[in-house]
Amino acid sequence: MVSPAAVAVYADHSSKISSSLPSTHTMQPGAEPIRVLVTGAAGQIAYSLLYSIAKGDVFGKDQPIILVLLDIPPMLPVLDGVVMELQDCALPLLRDVIPTDKVEVGFKDLDAAILVGSMPRKEGMERKDLLKANVAIFKTQGAALDKYAKKTVKVLVVGNPANTNCLIAAKSAPSIPKENFSCLTRLDHNRARSQVAMRVGVPSDSVKNVIIWGNHSSTQYPDVHHAKVNNHGKEVAAFDAVKDDSWLKGDFISTVQQRGAAVIKARKLSSAMSAAKAICDHMRDIWFGTPEGEFVSMGVYSSGNSYGVPDDLIYSFPVMIKNKTWKVVDGLEINDFSRGKMDATAAELVDERDTAISFLGV
């Protein structure tokens, strides 16, 4: 998370700490390193995330990495400590670590950008003020992507409000395809999957094809009408495996919707370990594709969808991924119960978008 100063900082600050890791490695010659940016890099989500990326859990066990860590100037001393720890892990895939607060350094020649940093909502802050602050941050970061990153860069927005922040970044980077931008709803997806698995008494990987529709907010719709559960070797519909329709249409949905708040109430901190795991899952699926017959949830550009969701939103859909390209899963039957919830979360996103866009020219 970043402070209010971030709005100006992302645009203006120009100091840099440079740091290199030893160049000795065990990789085959010819494997070119990819450049991966993490923003909000001194924060707790990044602290849970960076080791997994640097170890090869996301982009592959034979893919060298240059990690670029962006944060605001007051966090640079903390970031230096993170760099020291990454060095001390002695990870053979990690070729370089570049901590910086300069967008021209942070966004240069990127293959992947994971935008974790955003303005958190403070007590007493109006929603429109939160949107305005984040529009400033993500307009700047989108413009930096447009100017400095590779046109093939894959951009994942994590910082909240993630869907609308992602939309603003995409609109601010007109030379990068909008399909290259996505926001994180995989944490919600994983929460839904785990809730069903615990209810049935099976491992979480025995549950597939849950869906998160819409916004990464409490209006999201966790949908298991198309989910399957492998229950002792037999694949059955989730409703048949759970055998409790009122739970699936009631407490299950509210538990997933409110899970982030429940973690904050218990830990006094927002989800970090589970968020980092979801980021890894999301980016790994973009890089390597989804398993045959399975789909995952991602916030992606809505234009042209077949589910009646308004165009020009970043909305979470079920997607399949192949060759680093996502495709919304079409043809799923939507009942009246689902339709109402999908429309409600879309309405919230339209309202967020319209408010945010009103700030774009400011």
Write out pLDDT tens, residues 89-146.
999 999 999 999 999 999 999 999 999 999 987 777 787 889 999 999 999 999 999 9
The helix/strand count (H/E) of the chain reads as: 13, 14
Give residue-wise pLDDT tens across range 229-239. 999 899 999 99
With a cut of 70, say whether residue 29 has pLDDT above it.
no
Percent over 90 (pLDDT), the chain = 87
| C-alpha pair distances (Å), 274 with each of 40, 57, 154, 203 | 17, 15, 21, 17
With a cut of 90, say whether residue 19 has pLDDT above it.
no
336 annotated to a ligand binding site: no
Retrieve residue 133's tokens.
Answer: 């602050």
pLDDT band at 361 (very low <50, low <70, confident <90, very high): confident
Give the residues across from 183 on adjacent strands: 157, 299
What is the rounded CA–CA span in Å between residue 188 and residue 177?
A: 26
Mean pLDDT over the full length of the chain: 92
159 annotated to a ligand binding site: yes
Peptide bond into 99 cis (omega under 30): no
The dihedral sign for the CA sequence 131, 134, 140, 144: negative
With a cut of 80, say whether residue 4 has pLDDT above it.
no
Residues identified as active-site: 216
With a cut of 80, say whether residue 255 has pLDDT above it.
yes
80 annotated to a ligand binding site: no
Closest of 281, 226, 274, 253 to residue 345, by C-alpha: 253
The pLDDT assigned to 362 comes to 54
230 annotated to a ligand binding site: no
What is the rounded CA–CA span in Å between residue 301 and residue 339?
A: 19
Closest of 38, 34, 150, 48 to residue 93, by C-alpha: 34
- φ/ψ (deg, to 5) at 141: -70, -35
186 annotated to a ligand binding site: no
DSSP conformation letters of 226-275: T-EEEETTEEEEHHHHH--HHHHTTHHHHHHHTHHHHHHHHHSS---HHH
Give the residues across from 152 on adjacent strands: none
What is the rounded CA–CA span in Å between residue 26 and residue 347?
A: 52
Q: Are the beta carbons of 229 and 196 closer than 8 angstroms?
A: yes
127 annotated to a ligand binding site: yes
Retrieve residue 42's tokens.
Answer: 């001194």
DSSP-derived 3-state class of residue 289? coil
284 annotated to a ligand binding site: no
With a cut of 50, say whether residue 26 has pLDDT above it.
no
Percent over 70 (pLDDT), the chain = 91
Task: Give the torsion through C-alpha atoms of 311, 313, 315, 321, to 10 deg.
Answer: 80
Find the helix packing angle between 259-267 and 186-200, rounded to 10°: 90
Q: Are the beta carbons of 144 and 104 closer than 8 angstroms?
A: yes
pLDDT band at 254 (very low <50, low <70, confident <90, very high): very high
Give residue-wise pLDDT tens across range 281-332. 999 999 999 999 999 999 999 999 999 999 999 999 999 999 999 999 999 9
Rounded CA Rg of the chain:
20
Q: How many CA atoms lie within 13 A of 205 on its CB side?
A: 2
Distance linking the first and last C-alpha atoms of the chain? 23
What is the average per-residue pLDDT within 35-52? 98
Task: Give the torsion through C-alpha atoms of 96, 99, 105, 106, to 10 deg.
Answer: 90
What is the rounded CA–CA span in Å between residue 211 and residue 189?
A: 6
Q: Which amino acid is at 218?
A: S
Q: Which residue has the higher pLDDT, 195 or 6?
A: 195
The pLDDT assigned to 128 comes to 85
DSSP 19: -
Q: Are strands 325-328 and 211-213 parallel, antiparallel or unpaired?
A: unpaired
Q: Which residue has the higher pLDDT, 259 or 6?
A: 259
The pLDDT assigned to 121 comes to 79
With a cut of 90, say whether residue 189 has pLDDT above it.
yes
What is the average per-residue pLDDT within 189-214? 98
The pLDDT assigned to 127 comes to 78
Retrieve residue 6's tokens.
Answer: 């971030």
